[in-house]
Structure formats: C-alpha cells, structure tokens
Structure 1
Amino acid sequence: MGTLDSAIRIRLIEEVPISEAGFRCLLEKEYDFKLLKPVTCESGCCIACTNSAPDILLMVMNSGLKCGLECISQIKHRNADIKILVLCMIEDVHIARRLLDLRVNGVICGHTPPMILFRAIRVIAAGGTYIDTNIAQSIALQESNSSFSPFSTLTLREFEIIRMMLDGLNQRQIGENLFISAHTVANHHANIMKKMGVSNHIELTKLAIRHGLITV
C-alpha cells in the first residue's frame, strides 16, 4: 500500500461543483492518490494550476470549452514538464487532435469507466502516455481520409471561439466564457471569417459540416 509521500498528487480542474465533488469522492477512495485543492477556470488559472507541483493535472473539458485549449497552452508554457490528463466530455476528433498537438499526456472520453481513469492516472504518473482507444482510432481514421482543412489554420483562441459560435453562443456569451471582451471576440470573429473565406454564419456552418467539425 502506498504512503502519503509516495501518493500521486492530483489537481482537478472542474467547473461544476457537483461534478467536482463526485470526482473527489471517486478519486479519494484510491490509496495511492492524493487530491490537492481543486481549481476552477478563471482569468489567471494557469498560475493556480501549477502551484504545489501536482504530479498530474486532471482537466475536465466540458461542452463550453471554458477551461480548454488556451488554458492548456498557457499551463504548458509556464511548465512544459507538467503532466496533464484531459477527461474530454466533447466527442470531437478535432479537439482531441489539438490536445495532442499541445503535448498533453493523456486524453480519455467522458464516459470512461472509473477503472480506466485510474489506470490512465497511474500510467501517466509513471512517465507514460494514455490515449483512449476510440479517440486514437478516430484520429487515425480522420488523418487517413482527410484532405487539407482550413480549420487547421486557426489559432487555439480562434478554434475555441469558432466552436462556441457553432454551438450557438453570441459574442457576449463567448467573451464571458473566455474572460475576454465582446470587442475582442468580434475581432477574432472577423479574422476567422477571413481565414475561412466565408461571409456569414450559414456559409461557416456548411464549411464546418463539410470538414467534419460538426455533424448533422
């Protein structure tokens, strides 16, 4: 049985208090896990995430992407060696691909059984990587069948914004989710439309469907 000193130190990032309590209850039952104070995504959260040197940062990425790609990028910029495991509630191969590009140490699906989550944590803590089989297969299939996608030219911030746009959020709501002003969102929106070569939301949606960013 592990000791307190040898326990895997885990910091959880989860935006929903009920879900955070559920994860804590689940993880604390494992003898070799030690949970640090959880962090909620907010401006400057990348600093709090790396405090107390967690062995693993367990990030729950939900449909709002409030704590998402840009946060991971900033965390990795501050500490390239920190180990990040993402529990992805969004079944989207494009987001999974972006996560791997950011050099996270593991990506698993939101419907993953607890034993798989525990295994992923232990594998990553030991220096390995853990990618959910279904995610790995989806990425491999997309790469074998896909032609160039204009969405690959987007920055991380632009990609987060376009996902929220396609989910129906307006500029004010997107700004609130990402802790930026509506004016900044509007500037990003203009750049996105220019890069995609479209002039309105309908054309953008059609383009997203054609390249598999959303399904109908």
Structure 2
Amino acid sequence: MNKQTTIGILLIDDHAIVREGYRSLISKQADMKVIAEAANGADAYQLYKEQQPDVVVTDLTMPGLSGLELIGRIKQRDSKARILAFSMHQNPSFARQACRVGALGYVTKSSAPDMLLQAIREVHLGRHILSADIAQALALENLGNETLALNSLTAREFEILRLLVEANTPDTIAKTLNISPKTVGNCHYLIKNKLGVNSDIELTRLAIKLNLVNLLDLADQA
C-alpha cells in the first residue's frame, strides 16, 4: 500500500489570527502540513526559496510586496510553482489578475473551509480551481466598456492602480514594487489612457464603481 503524500504548505497572510485559524484547519488533515508561514510578501519569497513548499497559499492584499507581485516573482523563479490565491476580494478582476500572473486557483475567504482544503488538493495536482462565488461572478460579469478596459490592464498596471487609489505616492509605489518612479509614472499614464479617464479623481471614482476599493477603506486611510 502506498504511503499517503503530505502536502507541504507555505501559508501567507498579514493577520496572525487568520493564519492561526487556517493553520489549525490544515493541521487536522492527514495529507497536509503547514511547513512555513509569512506575514508579508518579502518574507514569503525568501521562505519559498528556502523551504520549497508543494503549495503556496497567499493572501493578495498585504503591506509592502503584494500577493500579486509575490505570485509573479515566485513563478519567474519556478515556473512549476503551485500557488493558490486566498483573498477577501470577491471582485472577479482580482481572480483574473491572480491567475494571469500564475496562480492555479482563487478562493475567497467567505468560502466554506472545505472549499479551501479542496482547492489546496486540486492545486497540488496542478489543476485550476475557483471558489463558487468567483466562478459565478465571472460567468455573470457585465462586460461593459469599463470592465473590458479594466481587464486590458496588465497585472503590474492593475497593482499600480490599486496602490494609486489607496493614496500611495509614486515613490512609495516604486519602493513597494521595486521599480523606478519613472516606471510608475509611465504606468500611471497608461492606466488612465486605457481606462479613459483624465484625472486621479476620475480614476478613484471608477475604481470605487468597479469595486476595486470601497469608501470605508479610503476613509480608514484618510
């Protein structure tokens, strides 16, 4: 009889309580083990290099290096990396961008715990998987001009857009993404051009309309 394979997992979330809860859930599974944890993308990337986990489970919105950037960097280093995005964002645009940079699956944190466990197993097998709410949202998405324009953004442009509407300065964005302020400025121009807006105020309004950010988040940052 073959010995059951244990899936070694790198768990990444900036909230310690969240990590503790999901670590406890995973520890009850005979075929899974959390071998490393990180609270930010930079530490997670280093741990990936050191630990070589079977599956990476990462949040998308974290201080510093975001989940999208982390996924892209890991995939550049290891094209066979198996990554599951696990996020509060129920906007299908986040799922689309996560998959575009290399995630095999996307599960929202509002999903049942069993959905996360199923997704880890599927991703470990190299299969694509979406939680039911995201799959439905993608199927029902209204492909208006604004949504189509948003989908035309590259993963880098999408991430810069998110950071811009959260009131980060170009210098802060450049340091966060490890790129030059000039690159941020060029992307800023391209983003506005692709989305058909002329000012940052219009850009923020559109981001709110498309549920990339909400007013409560912006109020917290004020």
TM class by shorter chain equals 0.7 to 0.9
Residue segments in structure 2 that go unaligned for 5+ positions in a row: 216-222
Question: Is the aligned partner of 1:161 residue 2:160?
Answer: yes
The question of 1:71 aligning with 2:70 is answered yes
Pairs within 5 Å for 1:126-141: 126-141=125-140
Pick the structure with more helix per residue. Answer: 2
Overall identity of the aligned pairs, in %: 31
Amino acid of the structure 2 residue aligned with 1:17: A
- The aligned residue for residue 116 of structure 2 is 117
Answer with 10-19 or 179-188: which moved more: 179-188
Distance 1:183 1:102, change over 3 A: closer
The alignment partner of 1:51 has SS state of helix
SS in 1 for 2:103: coil
The SS at the match of 1:9 is strand
Instruction: Write the mapping of 1:1-216 to structure 2, written as runs, cut at 5 A.
Output: 6-43=5-42, 45-62=44-61, 66-142=65-141, 145-147=143-145, 149-171=148-170, 174=173, 177-178=176-177, 185-186=184-185, 188-208=187-207, 213=212
1:141-162 CA deviation, whole Å, 9 max, x = no partner?
22x6334733334332221121
Measured in 1, the distance between the counterparts of 2:169 and 2:208 equals: 20
Deviation at 1:9, TM superposition (A): 0.8
Larger CA deviation: 192-201 vs 12-21? 192-201
RMSD across aligned positions (CA): 3.1
**Structure 1 residues 197 and 129: CA distance shift in structure 2, 3 A:** closer
Q: How many residues were matched structurally?
A: 213
TM normalised by structure 2 equals: 0.77
Offset from partner CA, 1:69-89 (integer Å, 9 cap, x none): 222112111111111111111
**Structure 1 gaps, min length 5:** none
- Report the counterpart of residue 220 of structure 2 in structure 1: none
Q: The residue matched to 1:38 in structure 2 has which SS?
A: strand
Q: Flag the 1:188–1:102 CA change in 2: closer, same or farther, 3 A.
A: closer
Deviates more, 1:21-30 or 1:166-175: 166-175
